[in-house]
Amino acid sequence: MTKILAIESSCDETAAAVVIDGREVKSNVISTQIPVHTLYGGVVPEIASRKHIERINRVIEEALIQADMTLDDMDVIAVTYGPGLVGPLLVGVAEAKAIAYAKKKPLVGVHHIEGHICANYIEYPDLAPPFLCLVVSGGHTHLVRVVDYGKYEILGRTVDDAAGEAFDKVARSIGLGYPGGPKVEEAAKTGDPYAIDLPRAKVGDSEYDFSFSGLKSAVLNYINREQMAGRQVNPNDLAASFQRAVVDVLVDHGMRSVEEYKADRFAIAGGVASNGSIRSAIAAACKARGVEFFCPAPILCTDNAAMIGAAAYYEYMAGRRDGWDLNAVPNLKLGER
């Protein structure tokens, strides 16, 4: 039995979890900074770092209390070391190194996106590679072939904004505020998704690449045009139409990859994967093709440390150990060491 204390602080959630053998979550504590950053309309990296410093010890303590364990019980100390905001990442990395050093425990650095993908292992104890996974978060949009544990082939990625970034920017332009994703989803519930025609951009070297900046500009242009003409913009219709455009692109790319790779399993991950209409559209598209669909519970989609514990387990089993020189790598690529 391998007991892992996992720490996550790459953006605006300070999180710690105790995970056993990569699948069994004993505790999953998340201290969100959303109310702090809402004042500024987005994450302020300097403030995020300071909040992590203030909260991280209490969050870890709480994770151990809820798991009814102590630091001495842990077999591994795991931490997100990239990608993310450098200041916030450094807080978690320094903390994990200090604990591992003081308690003489192995240290394992984890890739944040790998963590998002591995949230599926927690939700579905029998899920094993190979499968396809669409990772849609605030900083990343990747269509990935999970070839084996810890082995990823990236089929496509965004060439500009990430899906979550598009939600956040569009929410700001409609006047819905931060964080954009949940606000757009809420507004869209009472809007008409067919009210406004928006583009579905296709771009890039790979047919699986994504581009969301054209869609974001189209929303801005629509708002300007309507305002110039003295017409009132219906925020709910705009949110619903934007969300439909995102859903269409995600379903289209995802299902083309399913067909090309003859996949029988398709998973989603990342903060945007907590969106109900994205989940149900991809679930329906998978069902129509006889493909098994996997999506972690919303709390495991947005940033958390349990997913980092799951990813760390497979890295640890593959022999990964980090030294006291482990550093934050803000632009760490998936599959890089």
Long-range contacts of 28-32 (CB under 8 A, 24+ apart): 28/63, 28/299, 28/300, 28/304, 28/305, 28/306, 29/59, 29/62, 29/63, 29/66, 29/305, 30/59, 30/299, 30/303, 30/304, 30/305, 31/55, 31/58, 31/59
Residue from the set 118, 132, 275, 308 that interacts with ligand KG4 by CB under 6 A: 275
CB atoms near residue 271 (< 10 Å): 26
What is the β-pairing status of strands 3-8 and 76-82? parallel
Distance CA 254, CA 144 (A): 10
**Which residues from 7-46 bind ligand KG4, rule CB under 6 A?**
11
CB of 181 to ligand KG4, least distance (A): 2
Residue from the set 8, 95, 185, 209 that interacts with ligand KG4 by CB under 6 A: 185
Distance CA 257, CA 146 (A): 13
Out of Zn ion, ligand KG4, none, what residue 164 binds, judged by CB under 5 to 8 A for its kind, is ligand KG4
CB of 279 to ligand KG4, least distance (A): 9
**Which residues from 284-303 bind Zn ion, rule CB under 5 A?**
303
> Residue 270 interacts with ligand KG4 (CB under 6 A)?
yes
> Residue 137 interacts with Zn ion (CB under 5 A)?
yes
Residue 105 or residue 116: which is nearer to ligand KG4 going by CB?
A: 116
Q: Which amino acid is at 275?
A: N
**Are the C-beta atoms of residues 146 and 111 closer than 8 Å to each other?**
no
**Which residues from 76-105 bind ligand KG4, rule CB under 6 A?**
none
> Residue 137 interacts with ligand KG4 (CB under 6 A)?
yes
Residue from the set 33, 49, 234, 302 that interacts with ligand KG4 by CB under 6 A: 302
Q: Tokens 């008409």: give the residue.
A: 192
Q: Could you give the string, one character per residue 142-181, with x where binding to ligand KG4 holds by CB under 6 A and - elsewhere?
A: ----------------------x--xx----------xxx
190: left (phi over 0), alpha (psi -120 to 50) or beta: alpha
Residues within the interface to Zn ion (CB under 5 A): 137, 303
Residues within the interface to ligand KG4 (CB under 6 A): 11, 137-139, 164, 167-168, 179-182, 185, 270-272, 274-275, 302-303
